[in-house]
Amino acid sequence: MIEPKHIDRGVGPYFCAIRSLIALLAGALPASARAEFAVNLPAPASALAQQIFDLHTTILWVCLAILIVVFVPMAIALIRHRRAAGHPAAKFHDNLKVEIAWTLVPVLILIAMAWPATRLVASMKDTSKSDLTIKVTGHQWKWEYEYLGEDIRFISNTSTPTTQIDGGQSKGEHYLLEVDRPLVVPAGQKIRLVLTSSDVIHSWWIPAFGVKQDAIPGFIREAWFTVDKTGTYRGQCAELCGVGHGFMPVVVEVVGDGEFAAWKQQQKALVAAATAGATKTYALAELKALGEKVYGANCAACHQPTGMGIPGAFPALSGSKIATGDRSAHIDRVMNGKANTAMAAFGAQLSDLDLAAVITYERNSWNNATGDLVQPADIAAQRSGSAK
């Protein structure tokens, strides 16, 4: 179900008009109450966003000036020369000079506005001379980040607890704008993003950066930003991409150079640990504990924490023939997904250990008690088998 609060975006001019009206009415309120009705773009954090902000403001003033220049004389003429005041109608048609003037002046104004706008759009697309390139892949419903040339790749899932989403608990400060693993980038450097998608069109959006770029399956799109001020910046997917659309936030952590280097070291250590872990043999309890986390972050949105799924949309895993049947068929379904259904292939997103853990968890949770263990080595074996 789409709740009304999610349909704010994309209603366009109608919504803007209502919002402006609210802002006008809010003018009558005390300042403290008025602060909530901010009707401007968010404070720009990148140089690009600052230029967008300034251009937007300039054009807004131009529009206001045109409004005054057109409507004030018109109102005066209508009132002064009204018939009720006994004014006789003028009898003329065609005035070449006036017609040329009222064609030429708007054309010149339009060109004067299009010139800086076009230059700015061109610079938004200019990703040359970047310091760091990150590949961003949209998935239903999470973002994947890969630091090109750095062996760092991870999935960023929303970390808002389902209890807040269900209304069982009051909403936190960053409700649906928080993730388990944010994108981390160094301050002051030009970050180039190359964006794509594995399923449907998503859109990577951080308002304060002035970046909103569609991620389109089968295509690579580019965007860039440079942010000088360290801090946490938030946004979300801005292209309606299915039932989980409201649950794929974007969080970027802008840090100093030293902190970024330390973070990179830490990520590499994680990768090394995962590689070492891939050859280890684990106990059931270990796999289940890790599997529960992997399940919570990647599977519970559809199959539900209870393993009961959503009847008619997502099958229950508790009691499922696949999750309690043949082990390699189960591994295959999770690793390769099922074509033309919402069940995606997790083989590329999850490590051998994560896959082994989540599959073991599914085979030994809820009403499932197969007692089976799936080890990372089993996943690796099936991967090389299916690669043939």
What residue ranges bind ligand HEC (CB under 6 A)?
Answer: 140, 298-299, 301-303, 314-315, 317, 320-323, 330, 333-334, 338, 341-343, 346, 358, 362
The yes or no reply on residue 142 touching Cu ion (CB under 5 A) is no
**Amino acid (one-letter) located at 237:** C
Least gap, CB of 6 to ligand HEC (angstroms):
18
Least gap, CB of 202 to ligand HEC (angstroms):
13
- Which CB, 200 or 255, lies closer to ligand HEC? 200
- Which CB, 81 or 321, lies closer to ligand HEC? 321
Q: Determine the Cα angle at 133 with ends 132 and 135, to 5°.
A: 150
Contacted entry of ligand HEC, Cu ion, none for residue 241, CB cut-off 5 to 8 Å set by kind:
Cu ion
Give, rounded to a whole angstrom, the gap between the first and last alpha carbons of the chain: 42
Least gap, CB of 315 to ligand HEC (angstroms):
4
The yes or no reply on residue 155 touching Cu ion (CB under 5 A) is no
Alpha helices in the chain (DSSP H): 13-26, 31-34, 47-80, 96-124, 162-166, 257-277, 284-298, 300-303, 321-324, 327-336, 352-363, 376-386
Least gap, CB of 238 to ligand HEC (angstroms):
19
Least gap, CB of 300 to ligand HEC (angstroms):
8
Contacted entry of ligand HEC, Cu ion, none for residue 353, CB cut-off 5 to 8 Å set by kind:
none
Rounded CA separation 170/295 (Å): 24
Residue pointed to by tokens 């209508």:
78
Rounded CA separation 123/129 (Å): 12
| Residue 341 φ/ψ region, left for φ over 0, alpha for ψ in the -120 to 50 degree band, beta for the rest | beta
Site for Cu ion (CB under 5 A): which residue of 48, 193, 241, 294?
241
Residue 167: other Cβ atoms inside 10 A: 8
Q: Is 186 helix (H, G, I), strand (E, B) or coil?
A: strand
**Amino acid (one-letter) located at 310:** I
Contacted entry of Cu ion, ligand HEC, none for residue 297, CB cut-off 5 to 8 Å set by kind:
none
Fill in the per-residue mask, 196 to 235: x = in contact with Cu ion (CB under 5 A), - = not in contact. ------x---------------------------------
Chain residues that interact with Cu ion, rule: CB under 5 A:
202, 237, 241, 248
